Structure 1
């Protein structure tokens, strides 16, 4: 990154993050958004209970010391042109998408004045965060809905436009808890993306430019199909099982990192494991 260039930061949360204890993930978001000088906007477009959900996050962010926290509720696309909402976004150092229904976020906000304003603040250095549905919308193509706890098939997942903060990937949330490996693989086959990230509950992938760090109590599962040499999607019907050969799988717990450019996991000491090193070997 060139000297003086603004970092682009995302905090993408798998849902059910701790709000009452140490609140490690939300704490990291507040820290990155300016700490005690943070100006946080909570976007509640995903939920049908905007006041209740929004006030819960206000309580957490104020407890963690953010200087200013406010809700921007958009029930309709017309609300996404509100001058007060746009003013709040323009001053925000951190913007937080709550959980709910990811389709509500895109149907209300995508390609509106608020959408433009949020991307502008992101480019200027504001930290964008989202949990559950708010995590699903981060790529340019998102999982709208799909079946859990099943084998990969074309029919089990529906894709749609996301908000485009982290293009070229697919993200799923509540991952281990709801058995969503099958639908993540199906989504990767359906879309021209080579990296899929499955984020466990109370776990986040913190993205700074092209590097991801994992924080929280669970793991992030990475499916890399960039070197996959076969799948049968062109020869099956939508309810028949998918086959894929040569894809890679990485499981990353707290403290591990992942490089989006090289598509390589990074150890907690900052080194990269050589693929020729035998499993179980000690890495110095």
Structure 2
């Protein structure tokens, strides 16, 4: 069976007007009859956030919406969430704090379940904190609107659904280019993907396409010719040379195998 797609959203997606990204989620999940489960592990306001997404998806015509309010590692809560998740066509992680997602789900069995379901074709979606958690290694925090600095970026293991990619969200709106560069300086074998608000990447097999109203910034550190990250002092601005950056608006694609944009003839 074909591996499921991922939809990784930069946060603040439109929920009131055109709802372009969330409409795409419903379509990719299988349409109006698909079973969508909203997971609120990231937020401290699970009922409020869950209700918001339930109303939005129902407005878009989706009929089968469930909420998995897994907010602790208590056995009964984990088992109840597993039961809700097991028949899902789409699992949607809300925003909040990505460390809540991994600290609650990590080692609970739900993390393994997500991997298995993704392998079997289930669509998995994350917005904001939920987007960061899709990565194998996730950015937890770092300075906004700042130059890249050595010790201002913190990372932790993510859910591992998106291999060899570091995702950052609310990207242009919060000035996060510096913190993504700092992350890539420390992990140049990873591809940095900064996703703006109301923008998403749809990942399928070995490529992604951009949808939404803003842009995706891709940072490739494999070609670095110089970095002082190992010698610099804590909080010191980093020196990085020969970093490759791509800016991709809606409709553009990126090859995750070759690490290069796919420029179609009509756009060349």
TM range (shorter): over 0.9
- C-alpha contact (below 8 Å) 1:40/1:94 kept by paired residues: yes
Going from structure 1 to structure 2, the CA distance change for 1:193 and 1:67 (only over 3 Å counts) comes to: farther
Would the aligned equivalents of 2:188 and 2:222 in 1 still touch at CA under 8 Å?
no
Counterpart for residue 158 of structure 2: 162
Q: Which residue of 2 aligns with 1:197?
A: 193
User: Does 1:104 find its partner at 2:79?
Assistant: no
CA contact 2:78–2:108 (8 Å) conserved in 1: no
The equivalent residue for 2:29 is 33
Shift in CA distance, 207/118, structure 1 to aligned 2, threshold 3 Å: same
Q: Structure 2 CA distance, aligned partners of 1:79 and 1:190?
A: 37
Q: Verify the 8 A CA contact 2:97 2:129 in the aligned structure 1.
A: yes
Count of residues paired in the alignment: 268
The residue that corresponds to 2:212 in the other structure is 216
In structure 2, relative to structure 1, the CA distance for the partners of 1:101 and 1:82 (3 Å cut) is closer
Q: Which has the higher mean CA deviation after the structures are superposed, 247-256 or 222-231? A: 222-231
What is aligned with 1:124?
120
Q: Is the 8 A contact 1:74 1:80 kept in 2?
A: no
Measured after TM superposition, the shift of residue 80 of structure 1 is 7.4
In 2: Cα distance, 1:98 partner to 1:58 partner: 12
Q: Distance in 2 between matches of 1:214 and 1:85?
A: 31
CA distance in 2 between counterparts of 1:128 and 1:191 reads 25
Report the Cα distance in structure 1 between the residues aligned to 2:103 and 2:265, rounded to whole angstroms. 42
What is the alpha-carbon distance in structure 2 between the residues aligned to residue 88 and residue 271 of structure 1? 45
Cα distance between partner residues in 2 of 1:192 and 1:252 = 20
Deviation at 1:257, TM superposition (A): 0.5
1:49-198 correspondence runs (5 A):
49-79=45-75, 82-191=78-187, 193-198=189-194
Change (3 A) 1:9 1:80: farther
Q: CA RMSD in A?
A: 1.5
Give the distance between the partners of 1:82 and 1:134, measured in 2 at CA. Answer: 18
What's the offset of the Cα at 1:135? 0.4
Tell me the secondary structure at the aligned position of residue 202 of structure 2: strand
Matches of 1:101 and 1:180, distance apart in 2: 17
CA distance in 1, matches of 2:211, 2:130: 17
Deviation at 1:191, TM superposition (A): 2.8
Q: Quick check: 1:80–1:112 contact (8 Å CA) kept in 2?
A: no
The 2-side partners of 1:16 and 1:51 are apart by 18
Q: Please, what TM-score do these two structures have when normalized by structure 2? A: 0.96
Q: What are the ranges of 5 or more consecutive residues in structure 2 without an aligned counterpart? A: none
Distance 1:172 1:74 in 2: 24
Q: Secondary structure at the match of 1:221?
A: strand
Secondary structure of 1:108's match? helix
The CA distance in 1 between the partners of 2:265 and 2:257, in whole Å, is 15
- The SS at the match of 2:13 is coil
How far, CA to CA, are the matches of 2:88 and 2:105 in structure 1? 17
Deviations 1:51-96, CA, capped at 9 Å, x for gaps: 0000100011112122310100112112576433212211000000
